[in-house]
Chain A
């Protein structure tokens, strides 16, 4: 990508224009420059002069940036409402992923272990192992995947670091503190009972393990993002 377009891209992204709109805008601008350059060459200019003339006709970078930045409809959600994009939406995604994981647990329990008192610590084989494994994978990996998603969105949108980090902390907290309980009790006609609780007090059993897990999630999700930020800062300084 030519230098002026690279600068325009960075400027648009930092101003909160959604990456997909930036990509399309720059793509069309480059196609336009190619057409203008071909036209100037047909009029007898050398390739270098034609490119200069084409860029001049395209407009100065300030005008091209302001034309896009001025339209609110092109702003990304992470720029319009960062607290929604980085704090609320990830927690809703986590709740949805855990809902799916708990559904797999409950249905697997009913299908493969109808006689067992609990679906935990019971040996399973074949398809049942795969089925429960999928549920576990979703449950344990959801905070990591969503956290990396936050980092990718923040990186692509050139967001200020405060928002992704503010989103990663509650995500890691919920991811580390949640505990799933499953027991066979009769409550209002239902036999199986599955619930999720959160460690809240330091005296709670398993609190230290939960804290370690929350810290590990925070580290694993924040670190790649912070490394990218530092790399970007160093390359800018160089």
Chain B
């Protein structure tokens, strides 16, 4: 039983934070195209800086999503500055829907444990 449980857990939630940067980026870019600096500032402002890391680490995530076909990029000059803008592709929208579903079920499961649900109190 334990083996089955641990295998299932590994397949679905290898790491609780896995997919969170992708989820946030895809969600933000679903609304409008942005460049890296804008994306980081949007994440900081909308999460009240709760999710904060070295700002530069956003780029490997962006490049990985682009390589997977979830994002597309184009170079655009605005106000004399040339920047790479990212936007979501149809494949990225599907991925966002999957990530949202996964995250919602994970969050509600954690919430039910934190709320002291029946399963957490079973062991004396």
Contacts and interface: CB of A to CB of B under 8 A. Distances in A.
Interface of A: 21, 24-25, 28-29, 31-32, 34-36, 57-60, 63-64, 67-68, 70-71, 73-74
A21 B55 CA distance: 18
A116 B92 CA distance: 64
Interface of A is mostly: helix
A76 B124 CA distance: 55
A-B pairs, top 9 by smallest CB distance, nearest first, are A59-B54, A35-B37, A67-B57, A67-B60, A58-B56, A59-B56, A63-B54, A64-B56, A68-B60
Nearest to B38: A35
Contacts of B60: 25, 67-68, 70-71, 74
Contacts of B67: 73
12 contacts: A24-B63, A25-B59, A29-B59, A32-B37, A59-B53, A59-B54, A63-B53, A63-B56, A63-B57, A67-B56, A71-B64, A73-B67
Contact of A36 (B55, B64, B84): B55
A35 B36 CA distance: 10
A52 to B, nearest CB: 15
B100 interface: no
Nearest to A34: B81
B2 to A, nearest CB: 30
Contact of B36 (A28, A68, A70, A73): A28
Contacts of B93: none
Contacts of A68: 59-60
